[in-house]
Amino acid sequence: MLIFVQRLGRLVFVFFVVTFVTFFLLDQAPGDPAERFAGLNATPEVVEGIRANLGLNGSLLERYTRWLGNAVRFDFGDSIVTRGFSSWDLIRESLPKTLELMVLAEIMAIGMAVPLALASARRPGGFIDKAASSTAFGLLALPAFVLGIYMSFVFGVKLGWFPTIVDNLPGLNDDPLNNLRQMFLPSLTLALNLVAVYLRLLRSDLIETLQEDYVMLAQARGLSERRIMWRHVLRPSSLNFTTAVGLNIAGLIGGAFIIEVLFAINGMGRLVIQSVILEDFNVVAAVVAILTVAYVMMNFLVDVLYSILDPRIRHGAR
């Protein structure tokens, strides 16, 4: 229990460091958000009043402490550019699309990588193993945006199976089939790079686990190969795979932002890019805070899953 408290404490420390550094860098950026919010013809008195309303008065530490206290209540301040909307309003509108893209990509990646890795490990050097390894090597060499361009051209422009512009995405509850059809191509594009990483990692661990004595004993008892692979080999081989899935969240966020711009999805990626260009720093700080929380919590969950998958880690921490 103590080890988890210590890890959680380190993650909280990381959150404070990342948000403070972000706050500091945004504070050093040229321009005055209050002047931008007030407009070109605003008087100094009006600008000063807006600065007070936006919480821009006081030292950097005072403003960060005030911002942090409000952020705990999901109050990230008003958008400087989009009048009448708070930063949280804009994030709440964009976040579900980004989450859906990431979740679908992870489901696709795991759904393709695990069966391929099991088939490859059962017959190392066989046809499936060689084909899967060659495909994974090729996918690793292609950046997500290049792969997305090819996918859009082939399946969107030439074949017309899927839309290449997803700027009018219906809600998943309103029209699930149309929603999934529009999100399929962006999700698959994001998933293919993950498939290559997961496949190579899991395949190596599966082959190593197959050499363990208890696996050979299960084979000697006459258990079916499928049962041995799924019940006795996959779980102890999943430690590195679980770590890769958890830690890939950071890369998945960056990849999702690129895919959103490529397919014109109104998600967090487009929101961040537009906010940076328009100097809407309240929105940028809010997005960084939310992504940092997501990242550190995913790291913590990976630690918890470690102890569940391998009790030796839990016992060794006592």
The alpha helices in 174-231, defined as continuous H runs, are 176-209, 213-220, 225-227
Token pair listed for 184 = 């399929």
Mean pLDDT of 253-269: 81
Query: What is the structure's pLDDT at 236?
Result: 66
In a domain? residue 84: no
CB-based contacts of 50, cutoff 8 Å, min separation 6: 34, 37, 38, 42
Query: What is the structure's pLDDT at 316?
Result: 46
Same domain as 129, residue 245: yes
In a domain? residue 25: yes
Of the two residues 14 and 310, the one the predictor is more confident about is 14
Mean pLDDT of 18-26: 82
pLDDT tier at 158, thresholds 50, 70, 90: confident
| Mean confidence (pLDDT) of the chain | 77
Q: Is the pLDDT of residue 271 over 70?
A: yes
In a domain? residue 306: yes
Residue 34 and residue 39: Cα distance in Å, rounded?
Answer: 9
Q: Is the pLDDT of residue 232 over 50?
A: yes
Same domain as 291, residue 218: yes
Same domain as 97, residue 66: no
Share of the chain above pLDDT 90, in %: 0
Same domain as 139, residue 217: yes
With vertex at residue 77, the alpha carbon angle to CA 75 and CA 81, rounded to the nearest 5 degrees, is 140
Q: Is the pLDDT of residue 311 over 60?
A: no
Asked whether 282 and 76 are in contact (CB, 8 A), the reply is yes
The answer to which of 171-180, 226-235, 261-270 has the lowest mean pLDDT is 226-235
Q: Is the pLDDT of residue 282 over 50?
A: yes
64-116 tens-digit pLDDT? 888 888 888 878 877 777 777 788 888 888 888 888 888 888 888 888 888 88
Same domain as 245, residue 295: yes
Same domain as 161, residue 50: no
What DSSP string runs through 224-293? -HHHIIIIIITTTT-HHHHHHHHHHHHHHHHHHHHHHHHTT--SHHHHHHHHHHTT-HHHHHHHHHHHHH
Task: Choose one of 37, 71, 105: the last residue of a domain.
Answer: 71
Number of domains observed in the structure of the chain: 2
pLDDT tier at 140, thresholds 50, 70, 90: confident
Same domain as 57, residue 123: no
Asked whether 190 and 252 are in contact (CB, 8 A), the reply is yes
Query: What is the structure's pLDDT at 227?
Result: 67
Q: Which domain holds residue 195?
A: 90-311
Same domain as 273, residue 223: yes
Task: Give the other-Cβ count within 10 Å of 232's Cβ.
Answer: 19
Same domain as 27, residue 143: no
In a domain? residue 44: yes
In a domain? residue 85: no
Residue 78 and residue 282: Cα distance in Å, rounded?
Answer: 7
Task: Choose one of 44, 71, 98: the last residue of a domain.
Answer: 71
Q: Is the pLDDT of residue 301 over 60?
A: yes
Bridge partners of residue 139, in order along the sequence = none
